[in-house]
Amino acid sequence: MITMPDMTTERPKNINTKKIGVVGDKDSILCFKAFGLDVYPVSESDPEETRKTVDYLARNNYGIIFITEQIAQTISDTLDRYNNQIFPAIIPIPGSQGTLNIGRSRISKNVEKAVGINILDEGR
C-alpha cells in the first residue's frame, strides 16, 4: 500500500521557495501589501534607485517581480539584463495612471519568438 504524504502539514524545509515583490509608485503598489506581497515604493524620477531595488530583489530570492509600466520604462536596460534569465521573472503591470501596454507587448514578443508568429495580434 502506498502512503501519501499529509498535505495539511507544513511544507518540507528543503523546498526552495521564492518570494514575490512589487516595485512602483506608492499609490499603485500599496494594495499588494494586503495580499502578503513585499512592496518597494520607488520614484519615477529616480531610475538609479529603481535599478538598485530590482537588483536587490534579484539577488535576494525573489522569483517574481511585478513592476509598474511607468517605472519599468525608466530602467529598460536593467530589465533587458534579466530578460533571458529564469529568475527573476519581471512582469510589467499597469500603474494607477493606466496602462502603457508594455506588459502586453513583451508577452506578444515572447510568444512570437517561441511560436514563430504573433498569435496574440488582434488585427492591429
Give the three cell numbers for residue 54. Answer: 530590482
Percent of the chain with pLDDT over 70: 78
Residue 74 pLDDT: 94
Q: How confident is the model at residue 17 (pLDDT cuts 50, 70, 90)?
A: confident
**78 domain-assigned:** yes
CATH of the domain at 46: 3.40.50.10580
From the list 103, 108, 110, the residue with the least C-alpha distance to 24 is 103
**120 domain-assigned:** no
Give the three cell numbers for residue 83. Answer: 530578460
Secondary structure (3-state) at 100: coil
Entry pTM? 0.74
Into how many domains does the chain fold?
A: 1
Identify the bridge partners of residue 40 per DSSP, sorted by sequence position. Answer: 23
**12 domain-assigned:** no
Domain carrying residue 32: 19-115
